[in-house]
Amino acid sequence: MNVLFVASECAPFVKTGGLADVVGALPKALAASGVAVRILLPAYPALAPVVAQGREVYASSGSAFGPLRVVAARSAELDLLLLDAPQLFARPGNPYLEGPGRDYPDNHLRFGALSHVGAILAREGVDGFLPDILHAHDWQAGLAPAYLALTPGRSVTSVITIHNIAFQGVFGAHLLPQLELPLQGFNVDGFEYYGNFSFLKAGVVYADRITTVSPTYARELTDPAFGFGFEGIVAARRGRLSGILNGVDLDVWNPAKDPDLVKCYTGAAPTKRVANRAALEARFGLSLAPDAPLFCVVSRLTRQKGIDLLVDVLPRLVARGAGLVVLGSGDMDLEVRLRAAAAAWPERIGVELGYDEPLSHLMQGGADSIIIPSRFEPCGLTQLYGLRYGCLPLVARTGGLADTVIDGNSVALASGVATGFQFAPVTAAALGDAIDRACDVFADKKAWRTMMTNAMRQRVGWDKSAAQYRNLYESALQEAAAPRD
Biggest CA–CA distance in the chain, Å, is 71
Cβ-contact 179, 143 below 8 angstroms? yes
Pick what 356 binds: ligand GLC, ligand ADP, none; C-beta below 5 to 8 Å, kind-dependent: ligand ADP
Q: Is position 357 an interface residue for ligand ADP (rule: CB under 6 A)? A: yes
Edge-to-edge, what's the strand order for the sheet holding 196-198?
A: 170-171, 196-198, 192-193
Give yes or no for residue 387 binding ligand GLC (CB under 6 A): no
Tell me how many residues contact ligand ADP (CB under 6 A).
18
Kindly state the smallest distance separating residue 334's Cβ from ligand ADP, in Å: 13
Q: Does the protein bind ligand ADP through residue 327 (CB under 6 A)?
A: yes
Among 87, 254, 329, 453, binds ligand ADP (CB under 6 A): 329
Region from 32-40, 221-229, 297-305, 437-445 binding ligand ADP, contact rule CB under 6 A = 297-305
Return the amino acid letter for 299: S
Closest by Cα among 297, 267, 301, 300 to 284: 297
Residue 111's φ and ψ, nearest 5 degrees, are -90, -15
Residue from 84, 281, 368, 377 binding ligand GLC (CB under 6 A): 377
Size of site (CB under 6 A) for ligand GLC: 14
Establish if 381 lies at the interface with ligand GLC (CB under 6 A): yes
Distances in Å between the Cα of 25 and the Cα atoms of 78, 248, 369, 461 are 9, 8, 25, 10
**CA–CA distance from 403 to each of 220, 334, 347, 397, 454 (Å)?**
12, 28, 35, 8, 16
Instruction: Decide if 460 contacts 417 (C-beta within 8 A).
Output: no
356 binds ligand ADP (CB under 6 A): yes
> Minimum CB separation from ligand ADP for residue 20, in Å?
8
Would you give the distance in Å from CA 3 to the centre of its chain?
A: 20
Nearer to ligand ADP, 121 or 391 (CB): 391
379 binds ligand GLC (CB under 6 A): yes
Query: Crossing angle for the helix pair 463-481 and 18-32, nearest 10 degrees?
Result: 80
What x/- string results for residues 21 through 60 when contact with ligand ADP is judged by CB under 6 A?
Answer: x---------------------------------------
Tell which one of 28, 263, 283, 300 touches ligand ADP (CB under 6 A).
300
Closer to ligand GLC by Cβ: residue 124 or 357? 357
Nearer to ligand GLC by C-beta: 220 or 377? Answer: 377
Q: Which of residues 42, 247, 328, 380 is near ligand GLC by CB under 6 A?
A: 380
Task: Tell me the residue nearest to ligand ADP as measured from the CB.
Answer: 18
How far is Cα 460 from Cα 163, in angstroms, rounded to an integer? 18
By a kind-dependent CB cut-off of 5 to 8 A, residue 213 interacts, out of ligand GLC, ligand ADP, none, with ligand GLC
Residue 260 near ligand ADP by CB under 6 A: no
Say which residues have a Cβ less than 8 Å from residue 258's Cβ, sequence separation at least 6.
264, 361, 365
Rounded to a whole number of angstroms, the minimum distance from the CB of residue 305 to ligand GLC is: 9
* Strand duo 133-137 + 78-84: pairing: unpaired
Q: Which 3 state secondary structure label does DSSP give 187? A: coil
Site for ligand GLC in 6-35 (CB under 6 A): 17-19, 22
Q: Write the CB contacts of 99 (distance below 8 Å, at least 6 apart in sequence).
A: none
Applying CB under 6 A, the span of 54-62, 93-101, 374-382, 406-414 interacting with ligand GLC comes to 374-382
Q: Residue 163, interface with ligand GLC (CB under 6 A)?
A: yes
Decide: is 360 part of the binding site for ligand ADP (CB under 6 A).
yes
Report residue 462: phi and psi, to 5°.
-90, -10
Beta carbon nearer to ligand GLC, 57 or 396: 396
Q: Is 213 in the site for ligand GLC (CB under 6 A)?
A: yes
Smallest distance, ligand GLC to C-beta of residue 460, A: 12
378 binds ligand GLC per the rule CB under 6 A: yes
* 328 contact, one of ligand GLC, ligand ADP, none, CB 5-8 Å limit per kind: ligand ADP
| Binds 283: which of ligand GLC, ligand ADP, none (CB < 5-8 Å by kind) | none
- Report the DSSP beta bridge partners of residue 134: 4, 158
CA-based nearest residue to 95, from 80, 79, 111, 82: 111
DSSP 8-state symbol, 484: P
Binder among 211, 212, 276, 299 for ligand ADP (CB under 6 A): 299
Out of 246, 276, 404, 465, the residue judged to bind ligand GLC by CB under 6 A: 246
Among 63-71, 229-237, 379-387, 426-434, the segment contacting ligand GLC (CB under 6 A): 379-387
Helix, strand, coil content of the chain in percent (nearest 5) = 45, 20, 35
Q: Cα 163–165–171 angle (5° rounding)?
A: 115
* 179-212 b/e (C-beta count within 10 Å ≥ 16 → b): bebeeebbeeebbbbeebbbbbbbbbbbbbbbbb
Binding site for ligand GLC (CB under 6 A): 17-19, 22, 163-164, 213, 246, 377-381, 400
